[in-house]
Amino acid sequence: MDVFTAISQRCSVRAYKATDIEEDKLKKVLEAARLSPSASNRQDWKFIVVKNKDTKKKLAKAAFGQSFVGEAPVVIVACGTDSKAVMGCGQSTHTVDVSIACAFMILQAEELGLGTCWIGAFDEGETKKILSIPGNVRVVAVIPLGYPNQPPSQKFRKSLNEIVCYEKYE
């Protein structure tokens, strides 16, 4: 699968088959995070792989009851380990770095026939408690991963004309 096909056919998956993910596929998804770029190549991140049923249920509760999170065979909790770093442009380094790694994982998952959904609606404090995440570490995203149990959904996107301008802001 080429990159554009993965980008264009990916959609958020909110229903998963109970089928386990093969270890080599999971490793490849995690490798995509490991190989992704980060500011000054800092790699200040940690990806917690959760398979335990009870823990996944708790994570789903912490995600304001989004129960499908607990139904995926694997949940990846993506963390920034240096939440103080700021780039020259003023943006928070860990948010950008971890988001890029998550995007790479999501696209790799697509190529392997696996579904994902970026979860940004979660109680960070609760999530940290569940997984014993230290105070200075920030949770950027929660990503359920598994074989989709839903048909692909349609994409609704703004047109290029609406979001692109040339030479200056318009």
Residue nearest to ligand FMN (CB): 120
Q: Token digits for 36?
A: 């992704």
| Contact status: 98 vs ligand FMN (CB under 6 A) | no
Q: Within 25-84, which residues bind ligand FMN (CB under 6 A)?
A: 66
Radius of gyration (C-alpha) of the chain in whole angstroms: 17
31 Cα distance to chain centroid: 14
CB 26 to ligand FMN: min, Å: 21
Task: List the one residue from 4, 24, 89, 120 that touches ligand FMN (CB under 6 A).
Answer: 120
State yes or no: residue 118 binds ligand FMN (CB under 6 A): yes
Rule CB under 6 A: is residue 11 a binding residue for ligand FMN? yes
Sequence-ordered alpha helix ranges (H) in the chain? 3-9, 23-34, 53-62, 68-71, 93-111, 124-131, 160-163
Q: Which is nearer to ligand FMN, 155 or 168 (CB)?
A: 155
**Beta-carbon count within 10 A of 73 CB:** 19
